[in-house]
Amino acid sequence: MDSAASTSELSAPVGGSRNGPKAALAVRGHWALSAMLVAVGAAGLWLFSRGFLLTRMVLPDRSDPSVLPFAGLPAEAVGAASAPCEWYPAKFQRAVVLVVDAMRVDFATWSGELNATFGAGEGQPTGRPPGRLMPYHNRLPAIAALSAARPEQAMFYRFRADPPTTTLQRLKGLTTGQLPTFIDAGSNFAGSAIDEDNWLRALVTPGCGAGRPGRAARGRNIVFLGDDTWTSLFPGELADTRAAEDSGAQRDTPAAAGWARVRPFPSLNVWDLDTVDDGVFSRLPLFLLPPESADQGMGAAQASELRERRQRWRQLVRQPHMWAHADFGNATAAGGMASSRVSAEQLHREWDVIIAHGLGVDHCGHRFGPDHPAISSKLAQMNQAIELIVDAIDRDDTPTALFVFGDHGMDPKGDHGGDSPREVDAGLWIYANTRWHSRDGDGRAARVLEAARELLADTQLGASLDSDLKDAWWRNTHLSDDYRALSGSGLPPAAPTHRSIPQIDLVSTLALALGLPIPFNNLGAVVPEMFAADDGPGAEWGLLRALRLNAAQTLRYIDTYVDRSRSHGFADDALRAWRAAYSRAEASYRELGALTTEGAKARRQQHTRALEERAAAEYFAFLRLVLGSLRQMWAQFDAVLIAAGLGTLALVAAALAMLYLRTRHSTLESIAAGACGMALGSGVAGAVAFRALGTLLVSTGVSHLTPLEATVAGLAVGTAAALVAALASGSQGQPSTRSVRDCIWRTLASPVARLNAVAVVAAVVHALAFLSNSFTFNEDSVVLYAAQTLVLAVAATAAAAALSPAHATQQRSGAVCAVACSAALLVLNRLSSYSTVCREEQLPGCTPTFYGLPSASISTLPLAAANVLMVWLVPYAVSRALRRSHSDKAMVAGLWVNIGMRVSMGMAAAYWVLDALDGQLASRAASGAGPATAAPGSPAAAAAAGGGSDWSELRIVLARMAAGVAVGGGLAAWYASPFCLDIAVAPALPQPAASPAKRGAASATPAPRQTAVILGYGNAFGAAYLVFATVVFCVLYLVQQPMGAIMLSGLLVKIILWAELFDALRDALADTADGALLPAQVTLLALLSFLDYFSTGHQFTLVSIQWNTAFVGMRDMQLVVCGAIVALNTLGSFILAAVCVPLALVWNEPLGSPRLRLAPDSYFARITGAAAAYIAYHALIATSTAAWAAWFRRHLMVWKIFAPRLMFSIPVLLVSAAAVLFAAVGLAAVHILRLGLHVGSARSLVGQAIQTR
């Protein structure tokens, strides 16, 4: 209806104050039905997840260093050459583990061919000029130089990670040797302590085999510096002991445990490139170099050399303020990190393992991308650090190893978390100050690897394994891609070829090399080169012994897992194949044992060496067979739980649709009275039945239901089925064949029915898109197509009404308005589609635009400046929408929309401008020589060196004030006075001519000279609700990055157009029944929410989550708050659309609406019905994603495409349902309607003549 034209003179009171008590609004039925539907839907999602998502039982077992895995024998029983409590004689007494976060394999590769072809220059941040190297090429020359100069002391590997490539998940794999589970992918904010066996626990546990020779009964001394993710995973193992040493807590048991020095640094809320790295490199010399007190006992030349070495370490640290820390002071007589029990000299002499984890390369990738020159500077710093560490351990007589590796790589934008080649391909470099491999040993290891590859190829299970498990060598295709991009030639003739190993192979290798037992849950294989040059106990070939220990431990883990987990998920064929492969290896080992007992000369025979290599190859093939098979099959699918979850979701979707239909004719109280009791009774009966059925299914091996799962399944299925039956029983009779034919005919004849049919087809098309992996990862295009098709159908319906000669002028006016709104929506939808981030599968046909430039990983300054325009445009658009009904003159509209909203949005936009400016200054500073190139105290220097610019505190204040204005100001003002109403005094309208008989009576009453005018009366409810929506919008606007904020602003404008469009269409189709257009209306709104989810910089992948928004307005990491901010950023479009669902009914609804005044419960029921229809759309999508993920559970792309889409559909459905049922309808709509029922009767107090506009 056209509120601007709805003008009338009324004197009777509105709301029934003359004829009886004011109408009340009953909401208990809404809350009961809403709570039940949400609870049952959540139960269905939980049941499906329990049956589908990959899970793994954690075994608490620990490997015992005194008991060998393959015979249950004590370690000292295997031969005199083996030290007591050692599985394998320790190769190294010390180890330095240097983790260069995100060190991709091509970052650490040296290629002379690159230098010869492209010269030695560097590329630019946004381009790759022909004839120049990329900034990350050949920036770690120390690795190649030392490997070439000392070939028996160093070796480089491609270090293949198992996705998800998040640091937390990679550290779990690198310490336990286990595969990640799919559900772990979202656990990147904070991790709980690892319960599985790991090499860190073996290091610190006192007892047999824990320590170095000479102190074997005590735990080893550990130093940890860097990423605080380690301390969240290992709070006990990495607990600093300095305070306990000073307090004397360890004096009673001086030999029970070693000492530990732990200095964690924040890993998430750090924006500069140097803070964590400088914190690590400034403290490493305290352990690698003698203390300054040792200078007094040295000669002058030696002391001078030591001071020079310290100076080189100091030059490595880029932030001078690092040296102000207490660790470098004289907090005690012994030194900053020393204690009363452990002196500075002991810190240098007695450490056993140093773990150093730097984050600068990873932060550089996230902030600037790998093509930025800053990556060159960070890699150069890492190169210098490697040189200094090598120099330090070379001067030590103790056998010491250095492991330098990346936990993952990064994609072309610097992000990680997925499974693209550049994300999973890290680098590993092993160096030692003693010889640890040889040319002969490497040759034998190569023959073992080749024989293992042939063994795997000969078996059906082995032939299907991933290529990185079968092929031990790999050509650096990342460098080859750059060759093609720069020169246009094919593969380079001398592309580097590397040994390739999975990351979890490091666990067993590191454990045995340090004399530790292999962790119980380990699935990796030892690196053959590490042991191929050794002679083990009893003159046994070192590699064969290591692989036999490795294989026996893995088989022991498999057997234990099968015994303890009835739902282990291992196929019988796979178990038989694994045990057969192990038996073959053991048979070869026994054959070799029989041959070697013939005499010492037999060992030197070529036949003996061949048998050793064959047995080693069979053990290695067994290990790869187990690992590769578990990668593919370790998903504990439970068909019963999957079916129960799917059935519940489908029934909930049907119940929501039936609730929409019932609310058109019934109140919520009557619906709830008939449905809730029946549903609860049916749920209890279902729970009892499922408990009994579950016992039967478990006993027969069909399923592995727990009692809790059986109870929830029965309760959910029973409740959902009863809800559908109860809601359907209240429908208007059963359809007959004739009524079905009549319904089809009416659908073809009625424009409203045709439009709703198009909406249903659009929803079905969206739901069926998940039938194909191609349509699934191109869902953004599918949604755009469906939304534009539906808008065109609405426009065609409106155009037909405008051209119809039978329609009145007011109907034609509404039709023209609907056509105009449709055209605007078509344009805005198309513009929204141009903002995108690209999935890996969409490349190279997709160009990312979200950050302003295809190669950018942070928003550009022009994009942030463009976002400032929204501060004026969005409030202007809202004011224009309110002005149509004269609602913009009210105090709440004037104060909030014109002032408060602009202030909140302005501070949010200013926050992102400063963020972009900070990034630009940091980019320029990082492109140069570093902080030294900037003027001291300047913002550039601060941005480059100090973890943030001078305005970092200002940004926090702006963000908090923006949120405070929106929530504390806007929401409070709206709640206190939601209606955009104002009363103006206007000249009285001329009175119509009266008959002569009435003139005498009228002359006794003087004519009024003025009249009271209520402004905003015609759209009182719609305007009040729009103000509430703008408050929610301002909160969401704050946590969106600049392009996302622009797109979210566009969504709000589109929602206003959407409300005007269907209101005008109802005017154009005057005979339209109340709520008849709701199916098309809520379908379009749902499609708009999906469309703008993609335009705000998201895809349904973990990689696209914008983790950097977690710290908007935050100084420190707070898990709940930061997680909520990321959720608001990710689900912003769905939240805003869900909150605006009531506008479908309350837009242009006058304050004295007869529908509300006469039947408030029925009116409120229709609002709840609209919410139910909206949630039904999301329930349909969630059910479809779940169904097709279950159908394709053995598909190659299930964990890459279908399962991530399912994971995102769960929060989308739950958050949308909570937002629309509880916040939008249960709170906001109820508040407005109740206040409207109360205020409506006050109209009689205004005067005798009231003009409503």
**Which parts of the chain sit beneath pLDDT 50?**
1-21, 76-82, 118-131, 186-188, 210-211, 214, 216, 251-255, 330-334, 482-493, 602, 929-938, 941, 944-948, 1242, 1244-1245, 1247-1249
User: Tens of pLDDT along 467-487?
Assistant: 888 899 988 777 755 444 444
In a domain, residue 758? The reply is yes
Q: Which of 108, 132, 111, 109 is nearest to 122 (CA)?
A: 132
What phi and psi, each to the nearest 5 degrees, are found at residue 1129? Answer: -65, -45
CA distance 1009 to 28: 48
The CA distance from 229 to 234, in Å, is: 9
Q: Order of strands across the sheet with 400-405?
A: 260-265, 222-227, 353-358, 94-100, 400-405, 425-432, 154-160, 497-502, 473-475
158: which residues sit within 8 A by CB, 6+ positions away?
A: 105, 425, 426, 427, 428, 474, 476, 498, 499, 500, 501
Within a domain: 38: yes
Contact 365, 375 (CB under 8 A): yes
3-state secondary structure 273-288: CCHHHHHHHHHCHHHH
- Give the integer Cα–Cα distance in Å for 86 and 63: 12
Q: Report the candidate in 404, 395, 402, 384 with the shortest Cα–Cα distance to residue 315.
A: 384
- Does 537 reside within a domain? no
According to DSSP, residue 700 is labeled T
Cβ(277)–Cβ(374) below 8 Å: no
- Indicate whether 1133 belongs to any domain: yes
Residue 45 lies in a domain: yes
User: How far apart, in Å, are the Cα atoms of 418 and each of 136, 422, 528, 733, 1185?
Assistant: 21, 10, 29, 53, 20
Distance CA 874, CA 908 (A): 14
Strand partners, 1012: 985, 1250
| Residues 669, 26: Cα–Cα separation, whole Å | 7
| Count of domains for the chain | 1
pLDDT of residue 250: 55
Distance (Å) of CA 1081 to CA 549, 758, 1090, 1181? 66, 11, 15, 17
Burial class (CB in 10 A: 0-12, 13-18, 19+), 1186: buried
Diameter over CA atoms, the chain = 142
Q: Which structural domain, as residue segments, surrounds residue 653?
A: 3-52+639-854+1040-1252
Amino acid at 337: M
397: in domain: no
Contacts of 56 (CB under 8 A, 6+ apart): 178, 179, 181, 634, 636
Tokens, residue 531: 């042991």
Rounded CA separation 237/217 (Å): 17
pLDDT at 335: 52
Whether residue 618 is contained in a domain is answered as no
CA 893, 894, 895, 896 torsion-angle sign? positive
The per-residue pLDDT for 482 is 47
Closest CA to 506 of 893, 178, 16: 178
Distant-in-sequence, close-in-space partners of 586: CB < 8 Å, separation ≥ 6: none
DSSP string, 1173-1231: HHHHHHHHHHHHHHHHHHHTTTSTTIIIIIHHHHHHHHHHHHHHHIIIIIIIIIIIIHH
231 in any annotated domain: no
Who's near 575: CB < 8 A, 6+ residues apart? 558, 562
Asked if residue 996 has a cis previous peptide bond (ω within 30° of 0), the answer is no
Helix (H, G, I), strand (E, B) or coil at 560: helix
